[in-house]
Chains A and B, each alone.
Chain A
């Protein structure tokens, strides 16, 4: 079996957790990676600046979608402040497979989207 596409990655890709959208989310953000067409949207429901519910939708490669699924599990229940402090390395470690430089953008797209949502952005500052 492949180094990159280990069972848990494929499982998250084929059976994504927290998949879908929220009605009346407190925060929502969507972004894409135009080079490969990966797209992720994340909705957050907050209580006292803490994530009480999270959903994502998206399309793209297995790495980007599995990472989004794993990320939603990582941050449910966390405060926005904790999310703002979350580093790329923590998500990469949670993925647990070797991510080459070319695939970092795929692996980290969901984190970028989540951070934008945590900071309450409506769009990326230009």
Chain B
């Protein structure tokens, strides 16, 4: 990665010009203020072109096609894998398994590692911050295999209670700790290297949900100390339908296949099959080749800008937004304030239902999310049914924050929220 580029502030107007959708208007001519990148990011023209370009010029099914187009498609697919691997600091390209999304990556671990390493009574530790995708697969295993799922709580600021994690690791047969790097609902950045040390000292493995971190922070798997890292392409400027699971090669090589079918085998007879190598073993069926290629283009784009610069930009936007939001009478802001906070702002406004808030934002051209953010246990823990969430990315600027605040002022007027 280009360390030099990372120290300069972003040229936001130039970046915005790379994202065609930011030119459009919504709700009768209002410029789009897109504050929902935690749900999915917008795409630069280079990614859209990579996707279309693959279909226009290189489309063929990969592997085993003895003709130029198929060879070309295969090379592009494997180049994309190498780009993603380099982007997260993987030791080799084969450590990256292409999947559809973070959810599928976590399910892959549950169904391969979990199914061969977890016995009745074993404990999987997750946290109250998790997205449903890092809760339900373990609850499914609990129902099927008699494992136990334990939750680490948060403190009043929305930070994980590491003392509870240590207690669980000391007193229970914990085989896996599975935790999000960045909370999609609160923006909390969890101390993964420290959690990795604690988990490994207790003989447990660590799975990290990187859906909200890989797109927004410099992430290097060697520094994280995780055993599995799951993330989605569509949240990091890439297309829908492509994501990745990273694990060390020897760990992947010790696991059984995930889904069965073409591409994941070495040989098949009428009696049996032998599984293929890593990572093909986990990629049964025709993969999303064009989406993988476009994800490679997204990685190129992010590396050109520099992840440290993107992180710095989002930190500055957060520092601009939080004091302005705090001034709104009746607002309740969730999540920690400090260096361990990503560009995600969850809030409620008086007793206005978040859906009503978001509807007023929408009428002002502001796209923000309202609801439980697929974190129902967290919402229950916070004592709310839902929050409104604004989330930033590299293409947001201070003007977006101003439009958000103006729209919230209108919501206060409409619903008569007092201080």
Closest Cβ neighbor of B364 among chain A residues: A2
Determine whether the beta carbon of B371 is less than 8 Å from that of A14.
Answer: no
**Complex-state Cα separation, A2 to B358, whole angstroms:** 13
**Complex-state Cα separation, A38 to B354, whole angstroms:** 11
Is A63 positioned at the interface, with any CB of B under 8 Å from its CB?
yes
Determine whether the beta carbon of B414 is less than 8 Å from that of A5.
Answer: yes
- The interface of chain A, by Cβ under 8 A from chain B, is 1-5, 10, 14, 35-38, 60-63, 103, 106
**Complex-state Cα separation, A36 to B372, whole angstroms:** 7
**What is the number of contacts between chain A and chain B, taking CB atoms within 8 Å?**
44
**Complex-state Cα separation, A60 to B384, whole angstroms:** 11
**Complex-state Cα separation, A28 to B355, whole angstroms:** 27
Partner of B355 from A3, A10, A61 at Cβ < 8 Å = A61
Partner of B360 from A5, A35, A37, A106 at Cβ < 8 Å = A5
Contacting A at CB under 8 A, from B383-412, are 385-386, 410
CB contact under 8 A between A62 and B353, given known A4-B363, A35-B371: yes
Is B162 positioned at the interface, with any CB of A under 8 Å from its CB?
no
Is B415 positioned at the interface, with any CB of A under 8 Å from its CB?
yes
Which residues in B have their C-beta under 8 angstroms from that of A36? 353-355, 371, 385-386
Determine whether the beta carbon of A14 is less than 8 Å from that of B416.
Answer: yes
Which residues in B have their C-beta under 8 angstroms from that of A35? 371-372
Partner of A2 from B353, B386, B410 at Cβ < 8 Å = B410
**Complex-state Cα separation, A57 to B212, whole angstroms:** 39
Closest chain-B Cβ to A97's Cβ sits at a distance in Å of 10
Determine whether the beta carbon of A61 is less than 8 Å from that of B363.
Answer: no
Which residues in B have their C-beta under 8 angstroms from that of A103? 355, 359
**Chain A binding site: helix, strand, loop or mixed by DSSP?**
loop
CB contact under 8 A between A10 and B415, given known A37-B386, A103-B355, A106-B355: yes
Is B166 positioned at the interface, with any CB of A under 8 Å from its CB?
no
Determine whether the beta carbon of A62 is less than 8 Å from that of B356.
Answer: yes
Which residues in A have their C-beta under 8 angstroms from that of B371? 35-36
Interface centre among B355, B363, B416 (most CB of A within 10 A): B355
Which residues in A have their C-beta under 8 angstroms from that of B352? 62
Determine whether the beta carbon of B415 is less than 8 Å from that of A4.
Answer: no
Closest chain-A Cβ to B68's Cβ sits at a distance in Å of 46
Determine whether the beta carbon of A1 is less than 8 Å from that of B355.
Answer: no
Which residues in A have their C-beta under 8 angstroms from that of B416? 14
**Complex-state Cα separation, A10 to B414, whole angstroms:** 8
**Complex-state Cα separation, A3 to B363, whole angstroms:** 8
Closest chain-B Cβ to A68's Cβ sits at a distance in Å of 14
Q: Can you name 10 extra interface pairs (CB under 8 A) apart from A5-B356, A38-B353? A: A4-B360, A14-B416, A36-B371, A36-B385, A37-B385, A60-B353, A62-B356, A62-B415, A63-B356, A106-B355
Closest chain-B Cβ to A77's Cβ sits at a distance in Å of 30
Closest Cβ neighbor of A1 among chain B residues: B414
Which residues in A have their C-beta under 8 angstroms from that of B386? 36-37
Contacting A at CB under 8 A, from B333-383, are 352-356, 359-360, 363, 371-372
Which residues in A have their C-beta under 8 angstroms from that of B363? 2-4
Q: Can you list 28 contacts pairing A with B, beta carbon distance less than 8 Å?
A: A1-B414, A2-B363, A2-B414, A4-B360, A4-B363, A5-B356, A5-B359, A5-B360, A10-B414, A10-B415, A14-B416, A35-B371, A35-B372, A36-B355, A36-B385, A36-B386, A37-B353, A37-B385, A37-B386, A38-B353, A61-B353, A61-B354, A61-B355, A62-B352, A62-B353, A62-B415, A63-B356, A103-B359
Closest 10 CB pairs of A and B: A37-B385, A61-B353, A61-B355, A62-B356, A61-B356, A5-B414, A36-B355, A4-B359, A2-B363, A2-B414
**Complex-state Cα separation, A3 to B360, whole angstroms:** 9
**Complex-state Cα separation, A2 to B364, whole angstroms:** 9
Which residues in A have their C-beta under 8 angstroms from that of B353? 36-38, 60-62
Which residues in A have their C-beta under 8 angstroms from that of B356? 5, 61-63
**Complex-state Cα separation, A81 to B348, whole angstroms:** 42
Which residues in B have their C-beta under 8 angstroms from that of A10? 414-415
**Complex-state Cα separation, A73 to B414, whole angstroms:** 24
**Complex-state Cα separation, A38 to B371, whole angstroms:** 11
Which residues in B have their C-beta under 8 angstroms from that of A63? 355-356, 359
Closest chain-A Cβ to B339's Cβ sits at a distance in Å of 33
Determine whether the beta carbon of A2 is less than 8 Å from that of B360.
Answer: yes
Closest chain-A Cβ to B334's Cβ sits at a distance in Å of 16
Which residues in B have their C-beta under 8 angstroms from that of A3? 363
**Complex-state Cα separation, A61 to B352, whole angstroms:** 7
**Complex-state Cα separation, A70 to B333, whole angstroms:** 33
Contacting A at CB under 8 A, from B271-301, are none
Closest Cβ neighbor of A102 among chain B residues: B355
